[in-house]
Amino acid sequence: HLSGPLSSKVERARSTMMNADMDAVEAENQVELEEKTRLINQVLELQHTLEDLSARVDAVKEENLKLKSENQVLGQYIENLMSASSVFQTTDTKSKRK
């Protein structure tokens, strides 16, 4: 057993080392917590981005269907105009020459 001034120096050294170890553990825990928080925020941001992109894809699909439908209507309209117009009618050029 140590006694006297040497004993108190050893105890202070032990206490200082334990405090340093505890500070190191706390600092490491703080770094881990900050890293987890950063990763969680990054995941949340990516989720929001994915939701936005998904909504945009849905909107584009809907617009595409609308445009296809409009194109079909216009195509039918043009076809009807062409069939009603004499300019686009097929003619037999041989019979007209005779």
Delimit the domains of the chain by residue range: 7-82
Q: How confident is the model at residue 98 (pLDDT cuts 50, 70, 90)?
A: very low
pLDDT, tens digit, 9 for 90 and up, residues 58-78: 999 999 999 999 999 999 999
Contacts of 2 (CB under 8 A, 6+ apart): 10
24 near 16, Cβ under 8 Å? no
pLDDT, tens digit, 9 for 90 and up, residues 6-30: 677 777 777 888 888 888 888 899 9
Nearest-angstrom CA–CA distance, 25 and 96: 103
Give the model's pLDDT for residue 13: 78
